[in-house]
Amino acid sequence: MVVGVADFRTSLAGDQPATGLTPVLTGLWWLAKGDWDRAHKIIQDETGRDAAWAHAHLHRVEGDLGNAGYWYRQAGQPVATDALDIEFERIVSALMGS
């Protein structure tokens, strides 16, 4: 079971996400594994600000900044301008309550 960001990072060595992750964190896990499509399929079906924030990040990774901007607004988050990996860590940390 993943209980913190370090555990989340360690779980990336496996072939499947750890048990107990929320759907949004599962989607981010797949993104970290390089499977953008799978991540998007999971996250786009979720609702709420956390899902919208992750969705914004996905579209930023994709390079679709207009779509990302929409999702940042839905999440109530400022549009990120820092490195993608920094934003990824920030989102995972926030979603895990770290």
pTM: 0.93
pLDDT tens by residue, 23-52: 999 999 999 999 999 999 999 999 999 999
Which residues 6+ apart lie within 8 Å of 5 measured at CB? Answer: 89, 92, 93, 96, 98
User: Confidence band (pLDDT; 50, 70, 90) for 18?
Assistant: confident
pLDDT tens by residue, 76-90: 999 999 999 999 999
Domains of the chain: 20-95 (1.25.40)
Nearest CA among 30, 77, 32 for reference residue 50:
77
Nearest CA among 43, 45, 46 for reference residue 57:
43
The per-residue pLDDT of the chain, averaged, comes to 93
